[in-house]
A = this chain, B = another copy of it.
Amino acid sequence: MRQTPHTRDHYPYTLDIQTRWNDNDVYGHVNNAIIYMWFDSVVNSFLIKNDLLEIGKSKTIGLVVETGCQYFAPLSYPEIICAGLRVEHIGTSSVRYEIAIFSQDLQAASAQGHFVHVYVDANTRKPRPVSKAMKHKLEAIS
């Protein structure tokens, strides 16, 4: 089903990302797969800035079990895009995030989708419940 593009105010956490030459594919616009690299980057940026993830050290890490995206308008290098993040749902050990990508000067999303992390033990890769402290920080952007 076709969604309606969200506006910037739907997303409490944001990360500006400089596009790269290679992001544009042969059709002259940012390739659809690159968008997902930005999804990963904004989610983990939030986790790192909130002391919920320290790469290579955290005992709990997020593994991606589902992603999806709808593309509304083209994006192109060399613009700086803005990735917006909101927590949609907090489960026992999983979190579903809503993410959108905004072109410079536009209020409506050029692409938007979801990203589901299951939090697991970094060694055993078995699911671990989302801690109270983590839940509290996630609720701040829900």
Partner-B contacts on A (CB < 8 A): 15-22, 24-28, 31-34, 36-41, 44-45, 48-49, 55-56, 61, 63-71, 76-78, 113
Contacts and interface: CB of A to CB of B under 8 A. Distances in A.
B25 A24 contact: yes
The majority secondary structure among interface residues of chain A is mixed
Nearest to A70: B66
B18 A41 contact: yes
A33 B40 CA distance: 8
A36 B38 contact: no
A26 B68 contact: no
Contacts of A20: 17, 37-38, 40-41
A34 B55 CA distance: 19
A68 B65 contact: no
Given A68-B67, A77-B41, A18 B21 contact: no
Contact of A67 (B16, B24, B32, B41): B32
